[in-house]
Amino acid sequence: MTSAKRGMGDRIVLATLLCILLLSGPASARGWAEREDWSRLFRAESIEGTLVVFDERDGARWVHDEARARQRFIPASTFKIPHLLFALDAGIAKDEFQTFRWDGVSRRFPHWNRDQTLRSSLSGSVVWVYQDVARRLGEKKERRYLRKIGYGNRDISGGIDRFWLEGGLRISAVEQIELLRKLHRNALPFKVEHQRLVKDLMLIDAGRDTLLRGKTGWAFDVDPQIGWFVGWVERPQGAVFFAMNMQMPNGAADASKREAIVRAALRGLDALSASSL
């Protein structure tokens, strides 16, 4: 074989390998397409933030503000998703019927001041339940679990019961998508029944042919305050994953904007019906 033919063969092999890597690599390794219409959604709410969507129906990857999408922020209550898995794996939480007894201490939100189940603690973002979980897990197990799933920067500085609220833990919107995709496929390193339970607890809305699963987050003890909404929509043709974070300069007055922006973007992709609020 001549050197020219060998060179051509080598180039074909390299091109083939490159195609395989591009097709098989994670979403974070591929390109994201900017959406100008999503920029308008954020401007209409006078909010600075990012939104990332991975659409399994056609493989599309959409983003508003890719630089921010790759920047890590404190996860706040979106960390309850993996934290539930840690608690179930460690035997601290048993099932959705388990009761966590309120200690009688009056806290920030009235609905926190009562006994809780796993479902109410997730839907109501009841911080004290997960602070109790963290104290019972301890630093060694928290670090081990964070390494196990490759969660963000895996930093638990700032206190065992505060590290995801105002401490050192950080994760990007792109990394949130990767975690959600694994959970959707029961591909995280935990029992399948535990992953299925967490997904059940994440259910927000159910339509005729759609299921919306997700979790909001609000880091109100940091400056600037940070809001999150992460999750996915299940459709017959495939799941549509989303992760958004934003600054909340007006605190609670900005809270509803998290879901409003995401739902509007998903309706624009025909992931949610026009009648979805």
Q: Which residues are tagged catalytic?
A: 77
| pTM of the entire predicted model | 0.87
Confidence of residue 16 (pLDDT cuts 50, 70, 90): very low
Please state the CATH superfamily assignment of the domain spanning residues 33-268 in this structure.
Answer: DD-peptidase/beta-lactamase superfamily (3.40.710.10)
- Asked if residues 256 and 230 have their Cβ atoms less than 8 Å apart, the reply is no
Domain ranges of the chain: 33-268
Rg (CA), the chain: 20
Mean per-residue pLDDT, 5-23: 47
Phi-psi region of 73 (alpha: psi -120 to 50; beta: other; left: phi over 0): beta
Span 110-151, pLDDT tens digits: 999 999 999 999 999 999 999 999 999 999 999 999 999 999
Span 44-98, pLDDT tens digits: 999 999 999 999 999 999 999 999 999 999 999 999 999 999 999 999 999 999 9
23-26 own/partner pairs: CB under 8 Å, 24+ apart = 26/178
> Which residues fall within 8 angstroms of residue 95, CB to CB, at 6 or more apart?
118, 197
